[in-house]
Amino acid sequence: MKVRFLNLSIQDQEEKQSILAAVERVLDHGIMIHGPEVEMFEKKFAEYVGRKYAVAVNSGTDSLIFALKALGICHGDEIITTSLSWIATANAIAICGAIPVFADICDDLNIDVTSVERLISNKTKAIMPVHFAGRVCEMKAIQELAKKHNLLVIEDASQAVGAKYYNQLSGSLGDIGCFSLNPMKVFGACGEAGVLVTDSEEIKEKLEILRYNGTINKETCIEVSINGRIDTLQAAILLERFNYFEKFIQKRRDIMKKYNEHLSSLVKVPLEKDYEMLSCYNYTIQTPFRNSLKEYLEKNGIEIKIQHPILMPNQPAYEAWTKSDKKNATKIVQEIMCLPASEKLLDEEQEYIIDLIKKFFKDSKCL
Ligand SMILES: *Cc1c(COP(=O)(O)O)cnc(C)c1O
């Protein structure tokens, strides 16, 4: 048996037809950028997350850049983020001229708030927690720390659409919430897309200026920026996919629970606390036997991914110039791997993977 990590083709015929009809509507009205579907999507997304405003943009990376710029982050400011994330998080900070400062992580793969506190300096302006793999960070502690030191909080919720923390959705817990809606994410467009959410009208207006070359009235440039507008097609597709992604999260959660049940005695699995609900962007296990287990599963036809194999502070572009605290992260990054766990995974595929992992540990007698 061969099991792919992720299959992005749209197989549900009803979903596919609804997307095709949406594409046709956009082709007919012909407003290819910022057509009426964009505002409709923004309204629906803001309502869903429980915030006043949403501003759609053309990628998650741009959403982070615009969030920082809208909050006035500039040259020399320090932004504390996690060591373990997709590099877009750090790049967004650095592109704004600010300095990413990399905090350590806890065993749950999210930012360690005690490490954040150690790294605060008189240049620190904001904390950018990343809700890793669909688990919301310990936001109460982060909010408290931010309040104490007068810092802004920007959530990188790219991996956590639909994840909950004390019944609040990710993205509703900081000054601005940022999401990637690229096709790999649980709620994805059919191409690049992203969105920001906030309760501040002032921030929302700034974001709308920033996303179109810093202009007002489409002509007068009042701030240096880039073009980060979203295609109408992607907004129209996202509006259709709104009807499906919560079902996908449910399916992914069932897959997580089944893996947890069978694997928790063999490897460290993502357990859920009673106040949280994971959205299962990926299913990450941790084991000191990571490399040999990965090789064994791959030899048996299972596609495995490591998200993310290089800590952000260890990336060549960052190694030389930024501060970090990464003791636990350095150990953990050697031990993480993601099993296939998307909503398209079949029962028999999951059972095959579970059996292989059990067999690996039984045969290698390494426990
Ligand atoms: C995917 C991702 C991004 C970047 O989003 P794009 O839409 O690919 O630009 C940023 N941060 C995290 C944590 C991500 O997983």
Q: How far apart are CA 59 and CA 194, in angstroms?
A: 4
**Spatial contact of 27 and 145, defined as CB atoms under 8 Å apart:** no
**Spatial contact of 325 and 362, defined as CB atoms under 8 Å apart:** no
Nearest atom within ligand 1 for CA of residue 88: 10
Q: How far apart are CA 82 and CA 102, in angstroms?
A: 5
Q: How far apart are CA 326 and CA 348, in angstroms?
A: 39
Nearest atom within ligand 1 for CA of residue 185: 1
Residues annotated as catalytic are: 185
What integer is the mean pLDDT of 22-37? 97
Nearest atom within ligand 1 for CA of residue 182: 7
- Give 50-72 pLDDT, tens digit per residue: 999 999 999 999 999 999 999 99
pLDDT higher than threshold 80 for residue 82: yes
Tell how far the Cα of 304 is from the centroid of ligand 1, in angstroms: 20
Percent of the chain at pLDDT > 70 equals 99
pLDDT higher than threshold 80 for residue 310: yes
Tell how far the Cα of 79 is from the centroid of ligand 1, in angstroms: 17
pLDDT higher than threshold 70 for residue 47: yes
Q: What letter would DSSP give residue 119?
A: H
Q: Binning pLDDT at 50, 70 and 90, where does residue 365 land?
A: low
The residue contributing the CA closest to ligand 1 atom 7 is: 60
Q: How far apart are CA 96 and CA 224, in angstroms?
A: 11
Q: Binning pLDDT at 50, 70 and 90, where does residue 218 land?
A: confident
pLDDT of residue 209: 98
- The residues pairing with 215 across neighbouring beta strands, listed in sequence order, are 221
pLDDT higher than threshold 70 for residue 234: yes
Q: In angstroms, how far is CA 285 from the centroid of its own chain?
A: 18
- Give 274-303 pLDDT, tens digit per residue: 999 999 999 999 999 999 999 999 999 999
Tell how far the Cα of 327 is from the centroid of ligand 1, in angstroms: 24
- Mean of the per-residue pLDDT values of the chain: 97
Main-chain dihedrals φ then ψ at residue 24, nearest 5 degrees: -60, -40
Q: Which residues 6+ apart lie within 8 Å of 126 measured at CB?
A: 68, 71, 73, 77, 79, 80, 151, 152, 153, 154
Q: What letter would DSSP give residue 181?
A: -
- Give 154-197 pLDDT, tens digit per residue: 999 999 999 999 999 999 999 999 999 999 999 999 999 999 99
The residue contributing the CA closest to ligand 1 atom 5 is: 60
Q: Given ligand 1 and candidates 61, 82, 87, 135, which is best to mutate, with the most ligand atoms within 8 Å of its CB? A: 61
Ligand 1 site residues, Cβ closer than 6 angstroms: 59-61, 85-86, 88-89, 130, 156, 158-159, 180, 182, 192, 194
Q: How far apart are CA 340 and CA 282, in angstroms?
A: 8
pLDDT of residue 366: 61
Q: How far apart are CA 161 and CA 188, in angstroms?
A: 10
Tell how far the Cα of 284 is from the centroid of ligand 1, in angstroms: 17
